[in-house]
A and B are shown apart, each in its own frame.
Chain A
Amino acid sequence: MSTTASTAPQAAASDRAGASRRQGTFYRGDPGMWSWVLHRITGVLTFFFLFVHVLDTALVRVSPNTYDQVIETYKTPIVNLLEVGLVGAVLFHALNGIRVMLVDFWSKGPKVQKAMLWVIGVVWVAVMVPGAFFMMKRTVETLFGGN
């Protein structure tokens, strides 16, 4: 892998040699990198949902029955579960967006960016647990409890 190894054998004895002996040198990243990846993924997913959502809402101009028929699919168990995923994605994107703004505009932001990541993780769980409960309550009751 290292081009310097052929011209300077001594360089191969440095830490580079140890790194290349291990199979592959995959960059596992820093939590900050993964928050950036997650920010992109949640953003793209939300944008695609927005496309669908504006079109399904536009059916209110077609007729009340057409709209009600399509909106019923949002109340089915699988789509209901997807809604929990959407809320989770949007919530992460919002919280991490606040973190990005604090890194940009707050003088201490860059220093505590990793700590802020754990904070938004805690807030995310604290909101999603009751949030998912109220979103899924009726679906779970209907699936397992009869009426």
Chain B
Amino acid sequence: MTQPILQLQQVTLTFGAHPALRDIQLSIQAGERVALVGANGSGKSTLLRVAHGLLPASQGQVLPLAGKRQAMVFQRPHMFRTSVLRVVVWGLWLQGVHWSQAHTLAAQALQRVGLQDAAHRSAPTLSGGQQQRLALARAWALQPDVLLLDEPTSSLDPHAKREVERLLADWLDASQATLLFSSHNLGQVKRLATRVVYLEAGRVLADLPVDHFFNHSLVHSHPEAHLFLKGELL
């Protein structure tokens, strides 16, 4: 087996006296599509932030593979008060890409998500679905090896949701990038993920291939996980 592209070793994170993550052990290989699922407050978003380096682990280690780039898309991505094109250009510029090259890459990324005609519109005036596509364009322009998504479609209508999923699936097929995302949408998990990590109260309760996850006796025998799969904790 090759070296994992991202590893979390016995990661614990506490906010004051409250443990948000407890002894998380996670190893992700290049090309995997891992879904983090669980009820609200189970630690999905926190785990993503720790994996991305936005939050320091209280104990344990986060080990991204050297030289591999990460990009993260948030549930409600922030749109700078500037043009759509510049939102992507700024993201690239912050990563050290030269301004003129950033314009070329940004235009290509916008083309990919179908926002090329909106390039000179003010970014905050875009609809929720368009803003999420723009956030994806900004992340993709960075050509990440690992893409982290925090409930990327939770605030979108069904049409925009499917559109974002389609773009994601196309891009993942083409790039072979690794995906780590959190979601409450079990249908989306089935469509996008190859592996599911179920979290409860900051612990990993199950870590299974997607097909096994929905039929696994361990998951169904656990009362909270059972309710989650039945849709009562979504």
Are A and B subunits of one complex? no
- Residues of A whose CB lies within 8 Å of any CB of B are none
